Amino acid sequence: MDGRRNAILTAIYASKQLFTLLFSATLESDDEEDELAEAFLLEAHLRLRGPSRKAVRIEGYVENTVPRFNTKQFRENYRMLPSTFALLENRLGPILAGDTGNKPCIPVRTQLLASLWLLATPDSFRSVGLKHNLAKSSVNASIQRVVAGLNDMAKNIIKWPAGDHLDSVKQKFQRLSNMPDVIGAIDGCNISIEAPKEHSLHYKTRKRDYAVVLQAVCDSELRFTDCFAGYPGSVGDRRIFRNSDLFLDAERNVNALFPNGEYIIADKAYPVLSWCIPPYIDNGHLTRAHKRFNTVLSQSRQVVERSFALLKGRFRRLKHLDMKRVDLIPSFILACCVLHNICLDGLEEDQVEEDNVDDFIGEGLEVVRQQERENDDDDNNNIRFQKGEAKRAHLVALLVRDN
C-alpha cells in the first residue's frame, strides 16, 4: 500500500513539473504560475482521496423527535421532568448562548440536551454526538460549558439553611426522626473513576478500585445543603471532614451556621462536636439508652444514603466517571449535585407532573452500598470535645424522657 501511494505522489509531482514547463511561456507572472500549480495539486489530491464527506449523524432529533416526547419518555431519557428542563434552560440559556468566537454557536437546547444525556447515561461522547447531530469535539465543548455554568450557579442552588428556611428544615427533620434541632445529615460517598496516570495509589480504596470522595450534607427532603468533592478515595472521612469548607467555617464562627444550637448527625467516622453528633461507638459497655439513641440516629441518617442513591440513580455516569483529567472531576460531581437540587426544587414549582424519585433511588442504592465508605474504628476514636459529649448526653436524656 505504501509503495502504491509513493508512486502516485511521485506521478503528481512529475505532472506538476510538466504542467509548469508547458505553460510557463504563457504566464504573465510567477504568482499566476504558483496559483495554477496549487490548483492542479489540489485537484489531484482530491482525486486521490475522494471528496470530503460530512460524518453521518441523526438529523432533526432535537428539533423534531424530542418535542414529541411525552413526560414519561422525556424523563426516561433525560432523567428530569420537561418542566424542570424548561426552568434549567431559562437559567443556563444566557450562559450557553454567550460569545463562542468565530465558530457558529451550538443551539442552547442542543448543548443542554446532549450534556444531560451524557450525565444520565454511560454512553460515549461519540454516541451522544451521533444522536444530537454534534461532532465529538462539540459534545466535549458543550458539556464543559454546561458544567461550568452549573458550577457558577452552585452557591445559589446548594445553600445552607438560614432564617425561616432553617426553622422549616428543623421541623421537617423532627417529624422524620423525633430528634430536636437537627438540620442535616452528613456522610461521604465514593465516586468511582478510571485509574489516574499520576498518584494513582492515592485514589485507590480498600476495595482496590479508584475513587474520588463526595462529602455532602442533606436535609430531610434529600436536598444537598453542602457539598465538598475532590479528595482521593484512600483518605478517611474524618480527615476530609476536618479539611472541608463546612468544618473550617464552623470553626471560625459556629453561630453563623448553627445560631440556636442546631446540629447535623453523622456516622461514627466523624468527631463529636456541639454541632456534629455521631452515634456512640459500641465498646460492649453501652447502656440501653445509648443503644436506643444509636438506633434512632442511624434511622435518621438514612436520608443521606438515599440522597446519594438518588444522585447516582438519576445521573448514572457517576457510577463510574471515566474521565482522564482528575482535576475536572470535582466540577463534574458538583454539577450533578446542582442538577440534583434543581430537579427536587422543580418538583415544588410544578404540581401537575409527578417525578417519583423512588425508582431513581432504587437504581442508585445498590451502587452506593457497594461503594460504601470504610473507616478504621481505631482511627475513629477521635478527640471527644466536652461540648459535643454534653450535647450528645443531653439528646440521650431527651430521648429517654420522651419514651
Instruction: Count Cβ atoms within 10 A of the Cβ of residue 356 and give its class: 0-12 exposed, 13-18 middle, 19 or more buried.
Output: exposed
pLDDT tens column, 174-228: 988 788 999 999 999 999 998 887 767 788 888 778 999 999 999 999 999 999 9
Range of the domain at 375: 159-402
208 and 296 share a domain?
yes
- Name the least confident of 30-39, 176-185, 320-329: 30-39
Pair 297, 265: CB distance under 8 Å: yes
pLDDT of residue 51: 56
> Does 336 fall in a domain?
yes
pLDDT of residue 367: 72
22 and 90 share a domain?
no
- Map grid coordinates 465558530 to a residue: 103
182 and 302 share a domain?
yes
pLDDT of residue 287: 93
Cell of 392: 450528645
Q: pLDDT tier at 274 (50, 70, 90 boundaries)?
A: very high
Last residue of a domain, one of 127, 155, 183: 155
Q: Is the pLDDT of residue 385 over 80?
A: no
Q: How many Cβ atoms from other residues are within 10 Å of residue 16's Cβ?
A: 16
- Map grid coordinates 440536551 to a residue: 113
pLDDT: is 51 or 176 the higher one?
176
Q: Classify strands 182-192 and 276-277 as parallel, antiparallel or unpaired.
A: unpaired
286 and 189 share a domain?
yes
16 and 78 share a domain?
no
Q: Is the pLDDT of residue 384 over 50?
A: no
CA–CA separation, 293 and 299 (whole Å):
10
DSSP designation for 360: H
2 and 81 share a domain?
no
pLDDT: is 244 or 10 the higher one?
244
380 and 248 share a domain?
yes
> Does 55 fall in a domain?
no
Q: For residue 366, how many C-alpha atoms fall within 13 Å in the half-sphere facing its CB?
A: 5
pLDDT tens column, 75-132: 999 999 999 999 999 999 988 887 555 556 889 999 999 999 999 999 999 999 999 9
